[in-house]
Structure 1
Amino acid sequence: MAEVVPLSDAIERLVHDGDCVALEGFTHLIPFAAAHEIIRQGRTGLTLVRMTPDLIYDQLIGMGCAAKLVFSWGGNPGVGSLHRFRDAVREGTLHLEEHSHAGMANAYVAGASGLPFAVLRGYRGTDLPTVTDTIKPITCPFTGEELTAVPAINPDTGIVHAQRADRAGNVQLWGITGVQKEVVLASRRSLVTVEEVVDTLDPVPGAVVIPSWVVDYVAVAPGGSHPSYTQGYSVRDNAFYSAWDAISRDREKFLAWMSENVLEGSR
């Protein structure tokens, strides 16, 4: 059953040096507050998993938290590149494992389902199998069709952000949802940061409810998805995404910004 604890306590208990950690959220509900706490606690050697690593992973990579990145697209949405990410790749300090969106989504589903791998058609005709050794051909035993397989993703810790949880730790999220439910189910340990804890989860059209028995910890983090947004609670900070391009280009400017805005505990 989920336990409601301070964010710093949850990260201390769930994220350790060398762990495989997935912080997911698609367009909104991106768990920035949790990532900032990982940075403040100085975690290193992490394998970071995310379908669309954007600013949150640029910050983690730039602060030396990551040794490997498993991903399917990376960039500053609507702006351009991730400069701390690019520099780490150029310097050879970050190992990459690249997949397609479909490949990663199916790998999460396989992990959530207790299966060892996922099977799909999506890699046929692409160059990804030549550069990613976790993409393998597999023959359908019924039709003889050649497909591709990817290993299940089972992070040590999965972290997502949501609108709210009740006092028993049941989580409710809505809006544009990605693979949050699958990440929580696939991970060995899980944390959900929320805007608020309420007495009752009132029904919301299209809402996803993650039951407390699959969540280890819930932490209250109002505004915890900023600069992305949380539908019904906040709007996307488009100016921040634009400003990040200049902040992250220069290593010293980046470190100064992180020191002032993250290491000192504010967003």
Structure 2
Amino acid sequence: MARILQLDTAVAELVNDGDTVAMEGFTHLIPMTAGHEIIRAGRRNLTLCRMTPDLIYDQLIGAGCARKLVFSWGGNPGVGSLHRFRDAIQNSWPVPLEIEEHSHAGMANRYVAGASGLPFAVLRGYAGTDLPAHTDTISTVRCPFTGEELAAVAALNPDVGVIHAQRADRAGNVQFWGITGVQKETVLASARSLVTVEELVDELPAQPGAVVLPSWAVTAVAEVPGGSHPSYAQGYSERDNTYYQDWDAISRDRERFRQWLDTEIHGSERSPR
């Protein structure tokens, strides 16, 4: 059953050096504040998994938390490159970064296989690319019914899955809606999970289209209003487009990035909104 914890306590208990950590949320409900707490906790040698690494992984990489990135696309959405990510790849700053690249469909299927307790997933994909030649977690299988050769991807089972959601009740049942992506699969595939939420409520109200993660599937819940900023939480906040634009200039320069870490992460309990 999920425990209700403070964010710093949850990160201290659930995220260890060397863990494989998946922080999911697409455009919406990105667990930014949880990522900042991981930086603040000084975690190192993490394997970071995410279908679409954006600002939060740029920040984690720049802070020296990551040794490997497993992903299917990376960028500052609507703006350009992730400059801390590029610096790590091109110049090994602040530490060398290994990468494992997949397609979106491949990553999604890896989470589904992990959540389903299966060793791999089968899909039509990767044909005509050189990703299988460079990626140990991509292979092929032959269909026993038709003889067709199909792509196969290894299940992804992170040590820790982290997501943000709109609500949870005090028993730890989580409710979220909007663009739901692979958040459910991330939690179910992970050995441990942390869900930050906009609010804790006594009872989850009916919500059309909502996904509910039962308490028994979640390790810990932390109430973190605004925890997805600068991304948005449908029904609670809007996307902060200026933040994404400002990040481009901050992330281009190592010294400016260090100043950002000092003032916005280590100099405060939470990054300001």
Q: Distance in 2 between matches of 1:172 and 1:266?
A: 24
The amino acid of 1:102's aligned partner reads A
Aligned to 2:71: 71
Gaps of 5+ in 1: none
Give the SS at the match of 1:21: strand
- Aligned residues: percent identity? 72
The amino acid of 1:184's aligned partner reads V
Contact 1:124 1:147 (C-alpha < 8 Å) held by counterparts: no
Aligned to 1:30: 30
Q: Aligned to 2:166, which of 163, 166, 182?
A: 163
Q: Distance in 1 between matches of 2:189 and 2:123?
A: 19
The amino acid of 1:114's aligned partner reads G
Aligned to 1:126: 129
Gaps of 5+ in 2: none
* TM-score with structure 1 setting the length: 0.99
Q: Distance in 1 between matches of 2:47 and 2:108?
A: 17
Shift of 1:131: 2.2
Contact 2:36 2:270 (C-alpha < 8 Å) held by counterparts: no
Equivalent residues in 2 for 1:220-235 (5 A)? 220-235=223-238
The amino acid of 2:67's aligned partner reads A
Give the SS at the match of 1:8: helix
The amino acid of 1:112's aligned partner reads A
Aligned to 2:113: 110
Shift of 1:259: 1.1
Give the SS at the match of 1:119: strand
Aligned to 1:4: 4
The C-alpha deviation readout for 1:29-48, integer Å capped at 9, x for no partner, is 00011000000000000000
State the 4+ residue runs in structure 1 displaced beyond 3 angstroms: none
* TM-score with structure 2 setting the length: 0.97
The C-alpha deviation readout for 1:114-172, integer Å capped at 9, x for no partner, is 00011111111222112222211211111111111111000000000000100100000
Aligned to 1:143: 146
Q: Distance in 2 between matches of 1:245 and 1:83?
A: 8
**Worse-matched range after superposition: 241-250 or 120-129:** 120-129
Q: Does the alignment pair 1:266 with 2:270?
A: yes
Q: Distance in 2 between matches of 1:144 and 1:125?
A: 19
